[in-house]
């Protein structure tokens, strides 16, 4: 949606700055001078998962199943590149399509081999749940990992226990600013549960704009110019989701990607789970 709207925000005689909390498509990098985002791109998640698998879990051999669309291919691309660069080997890299993919043939091959120590599912929550069901039926009990498309998988209960997922934000991040935000969110929306990444990043975007407008007023070009200088001409913005410092394309190349682990029906930030990963051009 941000890509569809970008020509409007960047066009006409009076373009207007737009800050996306969660538009992660790599294509947003080139959407225009008035388009900004405060989340990492999809490409950063694959790299973060590769470092986690190799350096924290100490796995050297695995497999990848990826949704054959832009999102799945982006995570697959950077995971495979980074994991192999770190010395890892992959038994297989296979595509799938659909909300309930039939990946039985791929999983049968992994079960027969018995060499894969983990499985990356580069896709969305519904597909991941179906893939895990099919894997467990075949006795494949290896850890499953995925990107931010797996947000909410903890609600699948025992099926999701032990799943790792990456995200630019988790509500239990142990910072004082995040604790205040989560507490205020729960008071304001007592029946909404805990805030997710889009909620936290939208909060950051509003307060970042507040600070910018307080400094330069509401002239559209002045707002864009001041936003573009956050982290270079002016200090970075310290938000709930992390430190916001824009590059020349309006991206946040040094924004954190965190790794979460499903335990007892909830997602917790995994120990030593922060991986700061530069966005891949």
**Pair of tokens at residue 4:** 């569809």
pLDDT exceeds cutoff 70 at 34: yes
- Does residue 8 contact residue 2 with C-beta atoms inside 8 Å? no
pLDDT of residue 272: 54
pLDDT of residue 273: 46
Q: Do domains 12-18+173-257 and 43-167 have the same CATH topology?
A: yes
Q: What is the DSSP string of 246-272?
A: --TTS--TT-EEEEEEEETTEEEEEEE
pLDDT of residue 16: 97
CATH number of 12-18+173-257: 3.40.50.2300
What residues have CB less than 8 Å from 244, skipping those under 6 apart? 38, 204, 208, 230, 231, 236, 237, 238, 252, 255
The closest of 108, 105, 148 to 128, measured between CA atoms, is: 148
What residues have CB less than 8 Å from 253, skipping those under 6 apart? 247, 278, 279
CATH number of 43-167: 3.40.50.2300
Q: Where are the domains of the chain?
A: 12-18+173-257, 43-167
pTM of the predicted protein model: 0.87
- Please write the tens of the pLDDT for every residue from 171-211: 999 899 999 999 999 999 999 988 999 999 999 999 999 99
pLDDT exceeds cutoff 70 at 278: no
Q: What does DSSP say about strands 89-96 and 35-37: parallel, antiparallel, or unpaired?
A: unpaired
- Please write the tens of the pLDDT for every residue from 216-264: 999 999 999 999 999 999 999 999 999 999 999 999 999 999 999 999 9
What residues have CB less than 8 Å from 83, skipping those under 6 apart? 50, 53, 54, 62, 90
| pLDDT (mean) for 19-24 | 94
- Please write the tens of the pLDDT for every residue from 63-105: 999 999 989 999 999 999 999 999 999 999 999 999 899 999 9
**Pair of tokens at residue 209:** 């704009």
């Amino acid at each position: 949606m941000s890509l569809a709207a970008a020509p409007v925000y960047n066009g006409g005689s009076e373009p207007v700055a737009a800050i996306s909390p969660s538009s992660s498509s790599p294509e947003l990098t080139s959407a225009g001078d008035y388009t900004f985002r405060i989340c990492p791109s999809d490409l950063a998640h694959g790299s973060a998962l590769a470092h986690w698998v190799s350096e924290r879990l100490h796995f050297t051999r695995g497999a990848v199943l990826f949704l054959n669309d832009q999102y799945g291919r982006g995570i697959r691309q950077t995971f495979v590149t980074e994991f192999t660069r770190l010395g890892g080997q992959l038994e297989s890299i296979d595509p799938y399509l659909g909300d309930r993919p039939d990946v039985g043939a791929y999983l049968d091959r992994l079960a027969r081999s018995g060499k894969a120590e983990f499985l990356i599912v580069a896709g969305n929550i519904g597909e991941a749940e179906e893939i895990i069901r099919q894997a467990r039926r075949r006795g494949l009990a290896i850890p499953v990992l995925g990107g931010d498309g797996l947000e909410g998988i903890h609600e699948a209960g025992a099926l999701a226990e032990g799943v790792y997922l990456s995200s630019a934000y988790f509500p239990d991040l142990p910072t004082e600013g995040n604790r205040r935000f989560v507490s205020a969110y729960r008071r304001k929306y007592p029946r909404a549960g805990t805030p997710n990444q889009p909620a936290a990043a939208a909060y950051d975007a509003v307060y970042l704009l507040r600070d910018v407008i307080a400094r330069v007023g509401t002239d559209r070009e002045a707002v864009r110019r001041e936003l573009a200088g956050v982290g270079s001409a002016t200090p970075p913005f310290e938000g709930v989701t992390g430190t916001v410092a824009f590059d020349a394309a309006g991206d946040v190349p040094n924004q954190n990607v965190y790794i979460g682990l499903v335990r007892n029906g909830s997602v917790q930030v995994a120990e030593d789970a922060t991986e700061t990963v530069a966005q891949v051009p």
